[in-house]
Structure 1
Amino acid sequence: MTGTLEALARELPPGAVSTAPDELRRLSRDRSGQRPDAPPLAVVRAASADEVAATLAWASARLIPVVPRGAGTGLAGGATAGAGSVVLDLAGMNRILAIRADDGLAEVEPGVITADLDRAARAVGLRYAPDPASAELSTVGGNIATNAGGLHCVKYGVTGDAVLGLDVVLADGTRLRTGRRTVKGVAGYDLTSLLTGSEGTLAVVVGATLRLLPTPTRTGTAAAYFATPEAAAAACAAVLDAGVRPSVLEFLDGRTLEAIHRLRGGPRPDGQAFVLAQTDGFAADAEIAAVHAVLRRTATRAEFTEEPEAAEALLATRRLALPAVERLGRVLIEDIAVPRSRLAAAVRSISALAERTGVPIFTFAHAGDGNVHPLVLAEGQDEEAVRETVDEIFRLALRLGGTITGEHGVGTLKRAWLEAESGVEALRVQRRIKEALDPLGILNPAKAI
């Protein structure tokens, strides 16, 4: 350990700083598939906000880059760390400090696993609504860093909609509290929203005050198959046009259905696209009947249920989508969003793109909010064709009036596209904000903006 790291180690408890090669390699990567050219300088396993502050004060004084990290489930390269940097591992800060049922809120540390928070809330009749696909693995702090979404976004919003306040540490080690414990509040600039989704480039989250919601009294589930992906996308739009507010509205294309069939066997799918919908709350039964009525107009087969066991069987198809595709080899899990009215156009264009380039694309979507996930199969494909396919997906999103990322973040993988979406002036403002909060540029450099 160098003298520089020895100085850091003296500031922290024994064992908090590690330079073990296997740990450096493991914690320098996330699920994006990005591989740094060289390992980081060290890993700091922080157990408290004071240790985070000490680490950042040390790094600031020495101009050493710091990469905050939760569980490493990110898909945009936002938690990758290369030569000369220090990984700040927050997974050990994993306490649920309080659940206050009377106020409908929870106070947590950033390393709390998302699904664990939801389970703790449900024990007192509440729920934590944000539900990214990685909820059993991802941390609340990581979800806040990327403003993560999930299946229930269509009704309950993304992570940021559940964040009331944050405890953070700035780049120089200064502690700061933002937001409040009340549902409403407009005093001063909304620093909480600014920091949520900033991907660790403005501050390090060391605590959060989060909104909890009542557990739904009832749930209804519907599923339908369609002859074409365009018909399925149009049916999703029709559900929303009917005035129903589903809690889940998901779409899978035919290529994804075929991958699921190969994984689990059984009867072949009844169509070339699949839609799953759920409703919840006191009116769930009436709402799911209304959803089913819309879906069955154009579906090859449609069914619905209010029974939990039958619902699980319908949900199984959606849950198998990602593992079924990933077993085929290395895939790039892309993440765009388009206006809901353009979902059918996006699905049609992605299918045509796959035909044109010869690169397989498996598409599923949070149809209720226009968030499309084209999974590009890179295994065994020409690398140049794969790159062009991914670039064209981003171009498509922007042509349709959408965004290059709906919930995964920019990280390293999409930085080159940020100006095309934001524009020169908006990007200049974002960089000025970065310079104001992190003037030395040590917090997660070369990420997000």
Structure 2
Amino acid sequence: MSRTDAILKRLLKLHPKLIDLSLDRIEKLLGKIGHPEDHLPPVIHVAGTNGKGSTIAYLRAFLEASGKKVHVMTSPHLVRFNERIRLAGKLVSSRKLNLALEFCEAANGGDPTTFFEITTAAAFKLFAEVKADYLLLETGMGGTFDASNVVKHPLGVIITPVDYDHQAFLGNTVAEIAVSKAGILKRGAKAVFARQRDDGRDVLVRRAAKLGITPLIMGEDFDGRAEDGRLVYQDEHGLLDLPPPALAGPHQFENAAVAIAAARHFDLPVTEADIARGLRGVDWPARLMPVHGTLLQMLPEGSELWLDGGHNAHGAAALALALKEMGEKRHLPLVLIMGLMNTRKPADFLAPFAHMNEKVFALTIPGEPNAHSAATIAAEGRGAGFDVVESKSILNALADAAALDHPMRVVFAGSLYLAGHVLHQNGTPPR
């Protein structure tokens, strides 16, 4: 076990619950370590159900194309915890990470602080110590009581599409979930909203109005679409004809458009050329990502292997649409290899793939006690009318797929935790 893993293991034991939404504990800890949250570079705070990480990846790409240094905090990680914290463009070194974590652990003094809270405090400490031009900050869950929501005066706020997820913590309706997401809005900070369901949009707009904010809303104040293989973006300032985003899937045109709107609305120092370079060079692992190398070699010649970390019904719908478009360009039989955490319903995740003539292999996500078993996924999937087979491991699932003995499009889906194991198995961790 590495030193980092040993520290993280200790931190997981501080609080009896993995999730306990509140700001009291992190505010107390931040006070003990000198309030680093008050000494950050300009912050762009991002909440939403899906698309947060991709939107941040685009903004980072635009800013770095303009020569700016950018801090980033995202979660969860795929292979190594270091992936959650990027300092001035580079993943945090294990040495710096360990020192920050141990400093916060000592300051915490054994108090029942959650894992996300104490690791967020460590991230803020690092962000305050290392010089950068901007911090792109992703919420962990929700907004109002998310540990990241201690930032009092963000430069700007982005809310990506709000949909059903984490209902046990955020509410049973989209409107209730939107109330939580809207909690990151701050008086004096500009805001950009992705395209929203009507019930979520109304909540967000009402909250913005109470704070004196006039948000920029996708579909009303700006829009972006694929046209002749290009990204066409338009707002009140005019039209941009841009290269398509390097990330695959039609939903990425929308994510990119939200990032472009934010760059323009927040007056970030990026030009149209910077945006174009950023779109071409953007990188965000496990978001409809082609997989090459060892694992692809297990499949019949002519096959494709893809990896997507979408883990809820909204993400599944985006993935299904992207795969449908792929099928129109090059038809291959679809094979889904899926694992899910037990906070999601297998039948709901599979529903968008109905009538796509897919074969489904179910996995238990390795090392995740809160994952659905392969047997549960298979049973619920079959109950919903899908042809689902249990597999013992990632390699077994690929071997089972290969036994079909024809070229195919194989897609790992259902969980970022599963995606991390796939990347580790393939020997291609994020950098």
TM-score, normalised by the number of residues in structure 2: 0.28
Computing the radius of gyration from Cα coordinates, the structure with the larger value is 1
Greater strand percent: which structure? 1
